[in-house]
A and B are shown apart, each in its own frame.
Chain A
């Protein structure tokens, strides 16, 4: 193969070809932006849904119900049909200028110079090491992502008896994958008093999946020299511990934004969520750099990430046209049971965020949460929501709660109780 290393000039570089990046590229092209390049490090674009065989994708963005691979293929087809270029097997490894990226691919090393950059690198689950779970280092320890990649793309097989750490939405996805491969789920553990995801909170959900969930329980140790033999679990309140024999452990959820490129560019990141801080127009702290999808809010569903892509397209097109970059004046802070909120900055006179929703993450289960907005010691609004907060999935709040925020009275605090 001949090398084609060198400089590439594009209007917009999109880093990451998952649902968010693909949708952004499609809608940028539809908005008349000339040269849109998606830089995708995997050999195929489509992102995480490619590994996820179950259905439920595409509802909010495509208004269809598809399984993961079909959804990913549809988004790729749409981006290509719109004339977006997708460079697969290409990884943005760093920055060589404010809007210039170093890219490595089998066809060479490029410097991609863009007029605007969109970071759409997604999120990953916290692996065992980052959770500091002690013990041996045997094989058979997975995250959901690795498990589904191994089984769906590479045809590998998990073991026969698994413990799943976490009871979030994604954890049930892991249950389905294991079940498909005839791996018995011996136990699911969650540190919370209730299983985090709605599926587990409803009786039909529990009956359907038939998985025992140990609440207020932590996996503290992994045992086994070559292959996992057991895990030690501890009850957080009683301190009692027990051994659970298994040959597979799946660490699920507990998401971290893939924010390394942002941090390498000194783009501001929320230390609590690990997500890139954006305003309602998905602008980061660096001029010309936007961020969308789960690298901003780790994590919401794929279709919500895709709708970020739709939302950012108009913002980017507008920026390319006017070349003006203003920092939104008001910082948003999270308090109470709300761990973080995105966007992290807002302009009260500016446009609403994607879907006119604020996204956040809860630290507890609240059936009917009350949201209070304060600024400068003054309560601006109070509202009881009719949907619950649950720590295993994104918590959505209406943009209208910020209606009375003033542009120059300092940070506004959103408290959920």
Chain B
């Protein structure tokens, strides 16, 4: 029999698929990861609220609750090891009416049921003491000190990079069209070719239900829920020292105001079910809604310039929980319905899948020959960046050559991104790896030079 292309094919290189590939790369097993889009983390994983959740408000007893709580600690440790920036800002749920105020004790009880005991109910004075820029009318709040902000792009990239370094083969621009399961071999077909494997792991995010259907299932249907967000200039950062969360109520979920790891402030998301899984356009109505919300939540914020607007699609389903199940007969595992908590839960999802595979008799054996530890380039505003690093610039002058003035991204960092294990293929990918062009001028100063660097790199690519 012809050798297999890989023992396991992971479909989807978002934060969940990449975490799974990384986890599997620690075992004696060949792994292939395919991604339909031109880059890893280029769909749901790139456009979320970038919060490391404690899981205090998950449904107690659910798989999501367990994996978010477990993933929180795993990702914290991992982030420290590889240099993913995290800031411990804490969160404050703010109640704006009596109904919301009455929900706070219930939320506190729910947090306890989820194993999180550190919440604290505070009065209006304490709310304004923590976030003086809040608009008038706050009645009280619930402090959740463990909620943190994290770089979602570096997390995804770190997983995928570690996987690739450990030998996982990554194929970008590789959409899956058809899957054929035979006794011993599964063949995955796409416009870019075929690949054979023993196991398939479905981490296809917005496309997870379609892959699931290729195995004959109708377990869930993805209903993409669009969330539009506004990102404000860094001069707004002092207005939002903590994550300001809405209290879920009968009137809907509300929007949050969060500092970002890049030093900005984010307002959103909206929440709208849509049908087109590629529709990531912001809308006139969505922006108007956020503008109105912002004016009441934090009027001062609305005086600042908006430096980015984007829409993310949550891969929600008709079910409330994550759907992670193994099908021994077809040698198939699905990780579907992973919503915004997927970033926090990612490593726990991967760990959970290893357990499922072992139970299914795959008998994974740990590798002894893994490459040494790696460090990711830091994109966090609160940590040392190359433009301030005297020694780094002394060793290589390119780190002192600032290309993107607003975000202070140096030529050295851009070259590093092009020379990395998973180089960017377009401006958006470069932005996620370096922060170039994501600042307040949106390319007024550096857009042309960055484009030049991209074109140059594309020419040099084999």
State the A residues within 8 Å of B (CB). 1-3, 5, 41-42, 89, 91, 93, 102, 104-109, 124-130, 132, 134-137, 139, 142-143, 145-146, 149-150, 153-154, 156, 220-221, 223, 225, 256, 260, 263, 271
Contacting pair A102 B388 (CB below 8 A): yes
Known: A41-B402, A149-B447. Is A136-B280 also a contact (CB below 8 A)? yes
Known: A108-B400, A153-B448, A154-B449. Is A129-B235 also a contact (CB below 8 A)? no
Q: Which of B318-369 contact A (CB under 8 A)?
A: none
Bound CA–CA A256/B284 (angstroms):
23
State the Cβ distance, A317 to closest chain B Cβ, in Å. 30
**A127 — which chain B residues lie within 8 A by C-beta?**
441-444
Known: A132-B287, A132-B306, A134-B286. Is A146-B394 also a contact (CB below 8 A)? no
- Using CB atoms, name the residue of chain A closest to B411: A106
- Cβ 8 A contact of B401, one of A3, A106, A134, A260: A106
A/B interface sample: 25 pairs, CB < 8 A = A5-B390, A41-B405, A42-B445, A91-B405, A106-B398, A107-B397, A109-B400, A124-B444, A124-B445, A129-B307, A129-B308, A130-B307, A132-B291, A134-B287, A137-B310, A137-B428, A143-B443, A146-B445, A149-B444, A149-B445, A149-B449, A150-B447, A220-B284, A221-B284, A271-B303
Known: A129-B308, A132-B306, A150-B448. Is A104-B282 also a contact (CB below 8 A)? no
- Using CB atoms, name the residue of chain A closest to B408: A93
Q: A102-B388, A221-B281, A260-B234 are in contact. List 4 more A-B contacts (CB 8 A).
A: A89-B402, A109-B388, A156-B448, A221-B283
State the Cβ distance, B311 to closest chain A Cβ, in Å. 9
**B contact residues, total (Cβ < 8 Å):** 45
Known: A132-B287, A132-B291, A220-B284. Is A154-B306 also a contact (CB below 8 A)? no
Bound CA–CA A203/B181 (angstroms):
73
Contacting pair B443 A104 (CB below 8 A): no
Contacting pair B394 A5 (CB below 8 A): yes
State the Cβ distance, A7 to closest chain B Cβ, in Å. 12
- Using CB atoms, name the residue of chain A closest to B303: A271
Bound CA–CA A45/B319 (angstroms):
60
Bound CA–CA A154/B291 (angstroms):
37
Q: Which of B380-418 contact A (CB under 8 A)?
A: 387-390, 393-394, 397-398, 400-402, 405, 408
Flag whether B427 is at the interface (Cβ < 8 A): yes
- Using CB atoms, name the residue of chain B closest to A109: B390
Flag whether B305 is at the interface (Cβ < 8 A): yes
Contacting pair A3 B393 (CB below 8 A): yes
State the Cβ distance, B238 to closest chain A Cβ, in Å. 10
**B387 — which chain A residues lie within 8 A by C-beta?**
91, 93, 104
State the Cβ distance, B239 to closest chain A Cβ, in Å. 13
Bound CA–CA A106/B396 (angstroms):
8
Contacting pair A134 B284 (CB below 8 A): yes
Known: A104-B388, A143-B442. Is A134-B448 also a contact (CB below 8 A)? no
Closest 5 CB pairs of A and B: A3-B394, A127-B442, A150-B448, A106-B397, A106-B400
**A126 — which chain B residues lie within 8 A by C-beta?**
305
Q: Which of B247-284 contact A (CB under 8 A)?
A: 278, 280-284
Flag whether B230 is at the interface (Cβ < 8 A): yes
Bound CA–CA A93/B303 (angstroms):
23
Flag whether B295 is at the interface (Cβ < 8 A): no
**B448 — which chain A residues lie within 8 A by C-beta?**
146, 149-150, 153-154, 156
**B393 — which chain A residues lie within 8 A by C-beta?**
3, 5, 104, 106, 108-109
- Using CB atoms, name the residue of chain B closest to A151: B448
- Cβ 8 A contact of A124, one of B282, B408, B441: B441
**B430 — which chain A residues lie within 8 A by C-beta?**
none
Flag whether B420 is at the interface (Cβ < 8 A): no
Flag whether B296 is at the interface (Cβ < 8 A): no
Bound CA–CA A225/B428 (angstroms):
13
Contacting pair B442 A129 (CB below 8 A): yes
**A129 — which chain B residues lie within 8 A by C-beta?**
306-309, 442
Most buried by A among B283, B287, B402: B402
Bound CA–CA A1/B412 (angstroms):
14
**B394 — which chain A residues lie within 8 A by C-beta?**
2-3, 5, 108
State the Cβ distance, B144 to closest chain A Cβ, in Å. 30
- Using CB atoms, name the residue of chain A closest to B310: A137
Bound CA–CA A149/B403 (angstroms):
14
Q: Which of B96-142 contact A (CB under 8 A)?
A: none
Flag whether B62 is at the interface (Cβ < 8 A): no
**B447 — which chain A residues lie within 8 A by C-beta?**
142, 146, 149-150
**A104 — which chain B residues lie within 8 A by C-beta?**
387-388, 393, 400, 402, 408
**B427 — which chain A residues lie within 8 A by C-beta?**
139
Contacting pair B402 A91 (CB below 8 A): yes
- Using CB atoms, name the residue of chain A closest to B438: A129
State the Cβ distance, A5 to closest chain B Cβ, in Å. 5
Bound CA–CA A136/B428 (angstroms):
13
- Using CB atoms, name the residue of chain A closest to B410: A104
State the Cβ distance, A134 to closest chain B Cβ, in Å. 5
Flag whether B182 is at the interface (Cβ < 8 A): no
**B442 — which chain A residues lie within 8 A by C-beta?**
127-130, 143
Bound CA–CA A256/B233 (angstroms):
13
State the Cβ distance, A183 to closest chain B Cβ, in Å. 16
State the Cβ distance, A360 to closest chain B Cβ, in Å. 20
B222-252 vs A: 1/0 string, CB under 8 Å? 0000000010001100000000000000000
State the Cβ distance, B270 to closest chain A Cβ, in Å. 12
**B235 — which chain A residues lie within 8 A by C-beta?**
260, 263
Known: A106-B397, A125-B444, A128-B442. Is A135-B451 also a contact (CB below 8 A)? no
- Cβ 8 A contact of B282, one of A102, A135, A154, A260: A135
**B408 — which chain A residues lie within 8 A by C-beta?**
91, 93, 104
- Using CB atoms, name the residue of chain B closest to A110: B390
- Cβ 8 A contact of A1, one of B230, B282, B397: B397
- Cβ 8 A contact of B305, one of A41, A109, A130: A130
**A256 — which chain B residues lie within 8 A by C-beta?**
305
- Using CB atoms, name the residue of chain B closest to A104: B387
Bound CA–CA A127/B445 (angstroms):
11
Bound CA–CA A68/B315 (angstroms):
51
Bound CA–CA A42/B449 (angstroms):
11
Contacting pair B390 A108 (CB below 8 A): yes
State the Cβ distance, B391 to closest chain A Cβ, in Å. 8
Bound CA–CA A37/B287 (angstroms):
44
Known: A134-B286, A149-B445. Is A154-B451 also a contact (CB below 8 A)? yes
Contacting pair A156 B305 (CB below 8 A): no
Contacting pair A225 B278 (CB below 8 A): yes
**A263 — which chain B residues lie within 8 A by C-beta?**
235
Q: Which of B420-457 contact A (CB under 8 A)?
A: 427-428, 440-445, 447-449, 451-452
Bound CA–CA A142/B444 (angstroms):
8
Known: A3-B393, A130-B306, A132-B291. Is A143-B388 also a contact (CB below 8 A)? no
Bound CA–CA A389/B137 (angstroms):
42
Bound CA–CA A137/B447 (angstroms):
14
State the Cβ distance, A106 to closest chain B Cβ, in Å. 4
Bound CA–CA A108/B291 (angstroms):
43
- Using CB atoms, name the residue of chain A closest to B228: A134
State the Cβ distance, A276 to closest chain B Cβ, in Å. 14
Most buried by A among B234, B280, B400: B400
Contacting pair B278 A146 (CB below 8 A): no
- Using CB atoms, name the residue of chain B closest to A108: B393
B55-69 vs A: 1/0 string, CB under 8 Å? 000000000000000
- Using CB atoms, name the residue of chain A closest to B449: A154
Known: A109-B390, A129-B309. Is A134-B282 also a contact (CB below 8 A)? yes
Bound CA–CA A197/B281 (angstroms):
33
Contacting pair A145 B445 (CB below 8 A): yes
Most buried by A among B287, B291, B394, B448: B448
State the Cβ distance, B397 to closest chain A Cβ, in Å. 4
State the Cβ distance, B308 to closest chain A Cβ, in Å. 6
Bound CA–CA A104/B230 (angstroms):
30
